[in-house]
Amino acid sequence: MTEFLQDGDFALQATFMWAMAWRPAAREVRRMPERLLHQWRRQIALRRLAHGPTPRVVLMVCHGNICRSPYAVARLRALAPELGDTVRVVSGGFVGPGRQCPEEALEVAANRGVDLSNHRSQLIKPADVLAADLIVVMDRVQQWAIRAMYGRDVLMLGDLDPEAIETREILDPVEQPKEAFERCYSRIDRCLSALVRAVSGGAFRALRSAAAPSHRARVQT
């Protein structure tokens, strides 16, 4: 933009440079509430997972279904034996069906033991949304879209991160270097591990509480 400013426009140049210098600070200020509220949001999300029914259908959502949600599906499927063999995990996006994952996604995922080579992007299917017991999104735009189009509540995956956060959203690494995919997939790994522990613990408590009344009945008789 500076090439459009003439040398004599000193005030305008100064204003532009000042605005550019303050953009990172403004972004930090906007994200401050997210950082401060993270532990509170995390505890609420974990409690809902632990005390709710064990999901039988999980829908993972991201924008294009080529970077974040495919990896999340593959990783959750690897962890799914802890939840039981009946859990079905599917994914979808909002744009561009039939696309492959980027090379960076394939390489970083492969280094983590996840094969995305056969994945092709899919649009979100209304039937999957309606059938899902748990809908997981990566950012607030997806959260708003699912609520607006289908009236369904969703889980923001980043809320489960056990580490301190910069933002609730799991940022899209598309068209970025491998380092962005590494950061993205590491965060997805952390969040999914927390999800599985919460749901598995809830299922265990449900089984234990279901057995408890019959035990008390035998004691009372």
H helices of 52-159, where? 68-79, 103-111, 126-131, 140-150
**Domain annotation covers residue 214:** no
Q: Given the residues 42, 67, 68, 75, select the one marked as catalytic.
A: 68
CATH at residue 85: 3.40.50.2300
Q: Is 191 one of the catalytic residues? A: no
- pLDDT tens readout for residues 180-218: 999 999 999 999 999 999 988 754 444 344 444 443 333
- pLDDT tens readout for residues 11-61: 545 444 544 554 454 455 566 777 788 999 999 999 999 998 889 999 999
Q: Is 183 one of the catalytic residues? A: no
**Domain annotation covers residue 25:** no
Q: Is 172 one of the catalytic residues? A: yes
Q: Given the residues 56, 172, 183, 190, select the one marked as catalytic.
A: 172
pTM above 0.75, yes or no: yes
Domain that holds residue 73: 57-209
Supply the pLDDT for residue 32: 75
How many domains in the chain? 1
**Confidence check: pLDDT of 68 > 90:** yes
DSSP state of 157: G
